[in-house]
Structure 1
Amino acid sequence: MDKNIYFKNWIHNWNWGMRTALFLILMFTIIQFSLFSLTQNYVVSYFGAQPEDVTFSIQVTYISLLFTLPLQIRFLNYFNTKKYLITVLLIGIILNLLSMKTTEIEIFILLRFLQGMIISFIAGGMLTFIFSRLHEEKKMAVGYSVFYGTLLGSSVVAGAPSAWIIDNTDWKMIYYVVILFQIISILIVFLIFKSEREQKKYPLYQIDWKAYLILGSGMFAVAYCLVYGPKHYWFDDKSIVYSFFLAIILISLFVLRQLNSKRPIIHFSIFKSKRFVIGLFFLALFYGLKDTINLVYNYVSVINQWSNYDYIELAAVNISGMALTMYIASQLVAKKKFPIHYFLILGFILMLAFNFWMYKIISPGLDFSDLMIPIFLQGASSGMLFVPIATFILSSVPVHTGISGSLVGGTVRFFTTLNSFAGYYTLQLFYNQHYKEQFLKYLTPYDLNYAERNSSSVQSFISKGFTPQESVSLANSSILKSITIQTQLLTNQTIFLGVSYALIGIILVVLSHFIYRKLSLIQRNSKSSVKNITIQGIKIQ
C-alpha cells in the first residue's frame, strides 16, 4: 500500500509524529468504550437502574463496535478520508451532548449503541492507518497489541479523571472531557490528513444490510439473555426464554444467509483451518478464565469499600503488567522464533499463579500491598496470551477472507465474556447460598460460640447507650453482615481454586502436546539421518 495516500507531506516521513497523532485519536476514541466501567455505581444511582443495565449498555456498545467494523472499512474506502473522519467525530459530539441530557436508561442504552458505531468508525480507521505504517512482519503483532492495550488501558485513563470529576463536580462533566478529546481529535485530523482522496473509490451498493441487521439483533438477544438471565433465574422468566430462542433463530438465519451469499460478511471457509479453530478455542479459554479478576475488584469496592482512587490505582498495576508482557510478546512474535506453546504455557502459568495466590490470601482487610503482586501477575498473563493467540488465529486464515478472522475472534470474545459474566454470577449465587446455609446451622441458642459472641455483642451496644431491644437487633444485624462477608469470601476462594484446577489441566495438555511434537520431530530427523547413511565404508552425510 502507498503510505502517502492519506497524510500530508509534512508529517508523512515523521514516524514518531505520525504514530503519536494516530495513537492519540485512537485513545481519545476508545476511552468512550470503557467510560463507565469504573464509575458505573454513579450511573446506576443517576438513572435509578440496576447494575445489569449498565453491564448491558457496555455489551451493547461492544456489539455495535464489532459488527460495524466491516462497514467502517467500506466507508473509509468510499468517502473522502478527512471529511469522513471529521463528520463522524462531530456526530460523536452530538451523541455525547444528548447523553448528557437524557434521564432514561433505555435512551442511554440506545445512545451507547450509536456511540459504539462511532468508536468503530474512528478506531477501525486508526487501526487501518497504523497498519499502513508498519512493516509486513510486524503488522499483526504490533497492531493488535496497540489496539488491545489501548482498549484495556482506556479504563484506567478514563477512570482517573472520572473519579476526580465525580468527587468534585457533577458526574456528567465527564461528557465535557470526552467532547474536548473529540475536538482535539478533529484538529489532529485537520492537520495531518490530505483534503483530496487519492485512493480508489469502492461502491456501497454491495453491502448486505439485512445480514447486518440480523447479526446485530441476534447479538442483542444473546446479550440480554446472558446479562439478565442470572438475575431472573434463567428460564423461570419468559423474557429470557423469548430472548434465548430469538437468539438461536437469528444467528441460524445469519449463518444460512452467509453460506449462500456471494459476498459474505464472514467467510465460513475459515473454519476449515484446524489452526484457526484451535486458536479460537484458546482465545475462549483466555477470555473465560481471566475474568476472575472481577472478583478482586468486587472485593475491594464492596467488602473493603475502597475509594475510586484506590480502585483505579489497583487497576493501573494490572494494566502495567499487561503492557510490559504485551510488549515482550509482540516483539517475540514478530521475530517468529518461538512456537505458540511457549506463550500459552507461560501465560497460563502466570494466570494460575494469580488465581492460586488469591485463593491462599483472600480474607477480610487485605490492603494494596497484599494485592499488588497477584494483580500484576494477572495483567502479565493477559499480555502474554492475547497477542500470540490473536496472531496465531489471524495467520491461519487466507488473505481473501478479509477481516473474517477478526470478526469471528471478536464474536468469540463477546460470547465468552458474557458466558463468564453469567457463569461467575451464577456460581456466586450458588456458593453464597451453600455457605450461608452452612453458617446458619450454627446460629442457634444451643451453639456456645454463637451464644457467647451474640451476648458479647449485645452488651457492647448496651454500653454505647442503646436499649436492650435495640442492642439485640443491632447484634443480629452485625452477625448477619459478618456472615454475608464470610460467605462471599468463601465463594471467591472456591472459584479461585476451581479455576486454578482448570488452568493446571490446560497447562498439562499444552505441555504434553508440545513434548509430543518435539519427540515426533526428533524421530523424523532420526529417520532422515538413517536414510542418508551410505555403505561406502561407513559414510554419514
Structure 2
Amino acid sequence: MAAQNAYFHPRFNGYTGLVRLALIFILFAGIAQFASFGIIQAHVISYYGAQPEDVTFAFQITYVGIITTLPVQFRTYRFFNTRRYLVIAFLAGILLNTGCLLTQDLVVFTALRFLTGVVTCIIAGCMLLSIFTTLPEPKRMLVGISIFFPLILAAGLIVGIGASWAVERMDWTAMYYGLIALQVLAMPLCVIVFKEKPDVKPYPLYQVDWFGAVLFMFGAAAAAFVMIYGPKRYWLNDREIRNAVVSGVIMTALFLYRQATVKRPLIHLSVFRHGKFVFAILLMVVFYGARDSINLLYGYSAGILGWSAGDIVNAGMFNVAGVVLGTLVAVKVILVKKQNLPFLLLGGFALMAYYHFWVHLHITPDLSFAQISIPVFLQGLSCGLLFVPITVFCMASIPQTTGMTGIVVCTYARFAATLNSISGFNTLQLNYNQRHRENLSGNFAAGNELLSQRLEFYKSFFMSKGYSQGETTGLSNALVAKSAGVQSQLLTIREIFYLLGMCMAATVIVLIGFAVVSKIKTAKVERLIDRKIISEA
C-alpha cells in the first residue's frame, strides 16, 4: 500500500481493485487512438485518395512515436506531476484527434499520427508503471504485463466495433468523436485517482538522452519507409529507398554509439552480452512476425468472402477470447512454478504451427464464419500462451540494474517484426501471385477445354437472364478472370501459411534443443559444485 500511496489519492486506500479498474479504463482511453484504424483501413485509403502503403506508413509512424518516447517516458514519469502530466497528454490527444478529423492532407495526417504515438506512449507508460505499483513485488512484472498485453490487443477490436458501426451508418471520421469522448471521460478520472503531488523524488530532465532519442526517431522512420515502400519500388533500384537506407544506417549507428558512450543511456547495450536475452528477443521477433499472419486471414475474409468490417470484428472477438484464455493459463502456470516456462514456449509455438498448417490445408473460397473462427481462436490462444512467457524470459535474462531496458528492447523487437512481416508478406504475395497467375494463364489459351466449358456455362447463364450476345461475352470473360484472381490469391495464402508453419515447427525443434543443452549445462554445474563440496569436506 505504501507504493500505491506514492501516486494515488488516500481516499482509495484499501480499494486497490477499484484503482486498477480506473487505471485500465484510462489506459484504454489512451491506446484506443493508436489502435483505431486497422479494421477500416480501406475507408481511410479511399478518404485520402492514397496508395495502401501510404496509409500503412502513416499507421506505422505512430509506432515510431511510441518506441521513440518509451525510454524517455520512463524518466519523465518520475519528473512531472503524474496527474497534470496525464491531463495535459489527454488534452494533446484531443487536439490531435481534432486535427486528424479536419485535415485531408496525408502528410499532415502522418505528422499528427506520429505525435499521437508520443501521446499514446506517455499515457500507456504512466499506466503500466502505475499498475505495477498496485501489485505485490514478486508478481509485479508478470501480472502487470499479463494485464497490459491482452488489453492492447483487445483495444483494437473494441474500437473496431465502434468503427465498423460508424462506417455502416455515417462517415468514418465520426469515429474521432468517440475517441475524443473517451479522452474527455478519462481526464476527470485522472484527477480523482491520482494525488495532486506524488510522493516521489523528481528525476532531473537534463540527465535524459534527448539527442539519442532524436537519432533513434529518424533511424526508425527511415527503416519504416524502406520496409513499407521497398517491395513496391524494387528496393535499391529506387533512389528514395537508397537514400532512406543510407540515412537509417547512419542514424542507427550514431544512436548505438551514443548509447555505448553516454553516462545515462536510454538503453543499456550490455544486455546483448547475455545469450539468453538475445535468444529471447529472437523468439519475440519470430512470434510477432508469425502473429501478423492473422491480417492475411482478415484480408481473405474481406476480399474473397466479402465480409463487412462488423463481420471481421465479430470473428476477431474469438481471437481476443483465445488471447485472454491463453494469458490466464500462462500466468497461472508460471506462478505455480517458473520452471514450467519452457513448456509454455513449446506448447505456444506448437499451437502456432498447427494454426498455420490448419489454414494451409482448409482454406477455400467459401469458408463459413464458424470455420474461420477456429483458426482465429487458435491463433489467439497461441499468442496468449507465448507473449507473457517470452517477456518474462527476456526480463529474467538480464540484471535488474538495467532498469526498463528489457521492456524497451522488446518494443523495438515488436516494431522490427511488424515491419518485417509487412515487407515479407507484401513481397511473398507479389511473387507468389505473379507465379500462380502465370501458371493459371496456361488455362486461358485458345482451345483449352476447361476454359471453353466454363465460358459456355457463364454464357448460358447470362443468356437465360436476357443479356445480349456482347454483354454475355464480356461478363463471362470478367467472371473467368475474377475466378483466376481468387484462385491465385488462395494459392498464395496457402503457400505463405505453409512457410510460416514450417518456421514455427523449426522453432519448436530449436526450443527443444535449447532446453536439452540448458539441462546438460545445469547438470554439469551441479556436478562441479558437488565435487567442490566433497573435496572441501
TM-score bin, normalised by smaller chain: over 0.9
Report Cα offsets for 1:365-397 as digits up to 9, x if no partner: 101111112111100111111101111101222
Report Cα offsets for 1:1-30 as digits up to 9, x if no partner: 732011111113201111101111011111
Distance 1:520 1:253 in 2: 38
Partner residue in 2 for 1:250 = 251
Correspondences of 1:79-478 after superposition (within 5 Å): 79-478=80-479
Report Cα offsets for 1:233-277 as digits up to 9, x if no partner: 222221111111211111011111111111111111111111111
Q: 1:417 to 1:201 in 2, by over 3 A?
A: same
TM-fit CA distance, 1:71? 2.2
Kindly provide the amino acid, as one letter, of the partner of residue 509 in structure 1: V
Contact 2:3 2:134 in 1 (8 A): no
Contact 2:220 2:248 in 1 (8 A): yes
Contact 1:444 1:451 in 2 (8 A): no
Distance 1:180 1:453 in 2: 54
Distance 1:449 1:54 in 2: 41
Say yes or no: does 1:57 pair with 2:64: no
Say yes or no: does 1:22 pair with 2:15: no
Q: 1:77 to 1:526 in 2, by over 3 A?
A: closer
Distance 1:204 1:521 in 2: 44
Kindly provide the amino acid, as one letter, of the partner of residue 468 in structure 2: T
Q: 1:187 to 1:454 in 2, by over 3 A?
A: same
Contact 1:85 1:189 in 2 (8 A): yes
TM-fit CA distance, 1:528? 8.7
Contact 2:353 2:505 in 1 (8 A): yes
SS at 2:70 equivalent: helix
TM-fit CA distance, 1:529? 8.9
Correspondences of 1:520-535 after superposition (within 5 Å): none
Distance 1:234 1:471 in 2: 43
Contact 2:71 2:267 in 1 (8 A): no
Report Cα offsets for 1:197-243 as digits up to 9, x if no partner: 32112221222222111100010000011111112222222111111
Contact 2:8 2:198 in 1 (8 A): no
Q: 1:458 to 1:259 in 2, by over 3 A?
A: same
Q: 1:200 to 1:522 in 2, by over 3 A?
A: closer
Distance 2:116 2:477 in 1: 48
Distance 1:333 1:391 in 2: 9
Q: Determine which structure has the larger helix proportion and give its number.
A: 2
Partner residue in 1 for 2:481 = 480
Q: 1:454 to 1:138 in 2, by over 3 A?
A: same
Distance 2:526 2:236 in 1: 57
Say yes or no: does 1:45 pair with 2:46: yes
Kindly provide the amino acid, as one letter, of the partner of residue 476 in structure 1: N
Could you list the runs of 5+ residues in structure 1 that have no partner in the other structure? Answer: 534-541
Distance 1:107 1:517 in 2: 52
TM-fit CA distance, 1:461? 2.3
Distance 2:532 2:400 in 1: 38
Say yes or no: does 1:493 pair with 2:523: no
Distance 2:523 2:128 in 1: 42
Contact 1:30 1:150 in 2 (8 A): no
Report Cα offsets for 1:334-368 as digits up to 9, x if no partner: 34433432111100111011111111110111011
Q: 1:530 to 1:119 in 2, by over 3 A?
A: closer
SS at 1:202 equivalent: coil
SS at 2:172 equivalent: coil
Distance 1:523 1:268 in 2: 30
Partner residue in 2 for 1:536 = none
Distance 1:255 1:532 in 2: 44
Contact 1:27 1:154 in 2 (8 A): yes
Report Cα offsets for 1:104-145 as digits up to 9, x if no partner: 111111111111111111110011111111112211211112
Contact 2:72 2:266 in 1 (8 A): no
TM-fit CA distance, 1:487? 0.5
Partner residue in 2 for 1:539 = none
SS at 1:442 equivalent: helix
Distance 2:500 2:64 in 1: 27
TM-fit CA distance, 1:521? 5.8
Contact 1:12 1:18 in 2 (8 A): no
Partner residue in 2 for 1:78 = 79
TM-fit CA distance, 1:409? 1.3
Kindly provide the amino acid, as one letter, of the partner of residue 488 in structure 1: Q
Distance 2:389 2:352 in 1: 15
Report Cα offsets for 1:286-336 as digits up to 9, x if no partner: 111222211111100101110111100111101110111112212222344
Distance 1:104 1:297 in 2: 28
SS at 2:4 equivalent: coil
TM-fit CA distance, 1:463? 2.9
Distance 2:42 2:242 in 1: 29
Q: 1:108 to 1:528 in 2, by over 3 A?
A: closer
Report Cα offsets for 1:182-203 as digits up to 9, x if no partner: 1111111111111223211222
Distance 1:386 1:19 in 2: 21
Q: 1:523 to 1:222 in 2, by over 3 A?
A: closer
SS at 2:339 equivalent: coil
Distance 1:204 1:151 in 2: 29
Kindly provide the amino acid, as one letter, of the partner of residue 448 in structure 2: D
Kindly provide the amino acid, as one letter, of the partner of residue 155 in structure 2: S
SS at 1:446 equivalent: coil
Distance 2:518 2:340 in 1: 11
